[in-house]
Structure 1
Amino acid sequence: MAATKTSDSPPGNIIQRLIKQFWYLAICGTWIAMVDLIKDIFIKAPVIEIEKLEKRSHQVAIMTGGPRGIGFDIVKKLLQLDYTVILGVRSIEASEKGIAEIRNLGITSGRVKLLSLDLKSLNSVREFAREVLASKEGSRIDLLLNNAGIMNVPYEKTQDNFESQFQVNYLSHFLLTNLLLPRIKETAAKKSEPCQIVNTSSHAQKGGKIDFDELETSKVYSAVKCYFDSKLCQVIHVKTLENKFQEDKVNIHAYAVHPGEIPTTLWNDLGLLARISRPIMKRICRTTDGAANTVLYPVLTPEVGEKCGGEYFETGKVKPTNPQANRPEIQKRLWERSLMLTQDANANSSQNQGNLAAK
């Protein structure tokens, strides 16, 4: 996989960073997390009775991220439905172990193809898309799950020179969706029910605020603020996609879904208190199985999904989003900026490769 570029010094002086991180983590983040936790305690995850659903024996699902945490249960349910699942993963070896665990549960249906994908590299995204489209399994795409993500990580610039959470959580998925979209449209034209695109977002999107002066970089770095913003970008992306699908009259729907407060290994990046509290929170918070049901609910519940394209879901219900997500000028500007960033990265990459070849 491609190496990433890191910086020893996050943007902004240490006092500015501490103040900004304190505000977004201790104030905004705590409030958002508490509200979300209360919701999860009193509002249960939707129930999906997989065994009663019609099999998807000829359908193909693409998912970013390996079979661990929420991804483990999502893949398990897709295989139970007899999907062919293509996974874009950082570690083939670790993912093979996860698939073996699923098979050891007695699930023999479905097929899995593992391909390498580093979301910190737009070149890796392009290579993954090329492999998918060239494969026999990728001759159709019924479902795209943009599920992989990182949270509250130390400051890092990717090899494409973008802040890592912005690229991993949003921009790489934006590019991947665009690269696979022609195949998804071809598939949608051949079937009566819609194809679907799901962005696994977060309730944290409500704490985000898009600032186009520091969208892909940071003037003063706050890991929590960048996470909030990346999740808001995912919601805006879904709404923009749905508008385009409606305009073009194509049989595709897009959704943003918050899986709930799930104490997975992602919590390790939230600090010592979060790591210590994980065993307790596992008894209170939603399980990964419930989270997988929540992510897949609009996909596997046609009476909901076909009426609610472009919406943001929590616990199987459409919920209000950050007000910025509904502003057409924000949607348009983010789309255009994202196209520019991915195209510029492609041009820069080609130039760098040419320079290397000339040496």
Structure 2
Amino acid sequence: MMTTSSYTVTQPEKASKTPGSSDSPPGNWFRRYFKRLWFFICGAYICTLDMIENLFIKAPKIEIEKMEKRSEQVVVMTGGPRGIGFDIVKKLLQLDYTVILGVRNESASQKGIDKIRDLGVTTGRIKFLYLDLKSLESVREFAKEVLASKEGSRIDMLLNNAGIVNEYYEITEDNFESTFQVNYLSHFLLTNLLLPRIKETAAKKGGGDPCHIVNTSSSTQRFGTIDFDELETSKVYSQLKCYYVSKLCQIIHAKMLEKKFQEEKMNIHAYAVHPGVIATDLWEDMGRFECMSRPYNTVMKWIGRTSDEGANTVLHAALTPEVLEKWGGKYFETGKVVRPHNQANQPELRKKLWDRSLELTAIPV
């Protein structure tokens, strides 16, 4: 179910005592338990449908060896080379991209790159920069370092790939619920900070190959109803509800970006992508529901997507020429455009989320 686990998290049982932190999640135990159970069932239902679909519809293929090399192009990506991230980075290096990775643990990430090199991938270049998506200040510093670096003199693609789901309640130093901030809000800020450089790159390219922004979302966004009264916090905490909402926000973010690019006639396109149902360790960290989630994870290992297939699905929109302008701003599953949650198609709600995000990240309107 959780398909974006490329962001390494060491989660204590209780959140640290940062400003606004709390030892206990909001809402009484009874309401939290049944809300948690409900969203677990919702996620299991969606993932079951996805796995059935996997039996009949294959993931899109990207024939890297037949594609033109991107020797002069640069990708900025959040999350390290593990899980889906490992195969995404591998494919980008095979295409000879320069990849700037925002990671928290450089030594662990270097081990992932070493494994890629051991597989015989000698092309491409990697630059690690520290990024903690639980801190908006870290996001600003990361963006500043990217823009000041030689590698960041152009940005052809931004992959907002990192994601978490917390077993325990935690609010960040910025006083936001951590899943919402890591999965959506920090990526919203990062995108806005890097956007001037992406626009410069697109202008240099003229009417040729566009620049791309890809948000890794999830099919579980179907159960992620946005409530602006508890968007960045929680009244009754459910980690899965927070995850679903953050994935819906990523889809709306892509739609709003595409609208702005079209208005400005920029050669840039944004997409939100569900990589498919992939067995991850997040399914095995479900606390009280671990007895149900572990067997489910075992089933996913048999009939779910591989991380390589997930990487193909994430990169498909950005690397497939026929997608381009025709499907900019769309939400993809299995390489095909899918209608997302109804809220994603409400212009007023999309505008409200955009304005609220600007406010929360202190970006001037």
Question: How would you bin the TM-score normalised by the shorter chain?
Answer: over 0.9
Shift of residue 276 of structure 1? 4.6
When residues 328 and 4 of structure 1 are mapped into structure 2, their CA distance, relative to the original with a 3 A threshold, is farther
Indicate whether 1:201 and 2:220 are aligned.
Answer: no
**Does residue 1:138 correspond to 2:157, yes or no?**
no
CA RMSD of aligned residues (A): 1.6
- 1:106-160: CA deviations, max 9, x gaps? 1000000011110000000001000000000000000000000002531100110
- Is the contact between residue 239 and residue 311 of structure 1 (CA under 8 Å) also seen in structure 2? yes
Q: Which amino acid aligns with 1:8?
A: D
Gap regions ≥5 residues in structure 1: 347-359
Deviation at 1:269, TM superposition (A): 2.8
Contact 1:185 1:250 in 2 (8 A): yes
Counterpart selection for 1:174 from 188, 207, 227: 188
Task: Give the TM-score normalised by structure 1.
Answer: 0.93
Kindly, what percent of the aligned residue pairs are identical? 69
Structure 1: distance between partners of 2:44 and 2:110: 36
1:154 aligns with 2:173: no
SS in 2 for 1:216: coil
What SS does the corresponding residue of 1:99 show, helix, strand or coil? helix
SS in 2 for 1:196: strand
Partner SS for 1:166: helix
Amino acid at match of 1:97: K
1:322 and 2:341 correspond: yes
Cα distance in 1, alignment partners of residues 125 and 345 from structure 2? 38
The structure with the largest helix share of the pair is 1
The aligned counterpart of 1:104 is 118
CA distance in structure 2 between the partners assigned to 1:59 and 1:313 by the alignment: 24
- Residues matched between the structures, number: 343
Normalised to the residue count of structure 2, the TM-score between the two structures is: 0.91
CA shift for structure 1 position 35: 1.2
Show the counterpart of 1:77. 91
* 1:18 aligned partner, one-letter code: Y
Pick from 336, 347, 352 the counterpart of residue 333 of structure 1. 352
Q: Give 1:258-277 correspondences, 5 Å limit.
A: 258-271=274-287, 272=290, 273-277=292-296
Asked if the contact 1:4/1:120 (under 8 Å) is kept, the reply is no
Give the superposition deviation at 1:42: 1.9
- Displacement of 1:305 in angstroms is 2.9
1:353 matched to which residue of 2?
none
Say whether 1:129 aligns with 2:129: no
Task: Kindly indicate whether the alpha-carbon contact (under 8 Å) linking 1:40 and 1:286 is maintained by their aligned counterparts in 2.
Answer: yes
Any conservation in 1 of the 2:31–2:236 contact (CA below 8 Å)? Answer: yes
Q: Which runs of 4+ in 1 moved over 4 A?
A: none
CA distance, structure 2, for counterparts of residue 227 and residue 38 of structure 1: 23
| Cα distance in 2, alignment partners of residues 41 and 178 from structure 1 | 39
Distance in 1 between the 2:201 and 2:282 partners? 34
The answer to whether the aligner puts 1:250 opposite 2:269 as a matched pair is no
**Contact map agreement 2:76 2:158 (CA 8 A) in 1:** yes
- Whether 2:320 is the aligned partner of 1:301: answer yes
Range with bigger deviation, 260-269 or 61-70: 260-269
108 and 338 in structure 1: CA distance in 2 versus 1, 3 angstrom threshold: same
Structure 1 residue 282: Cα displacement:
1.3
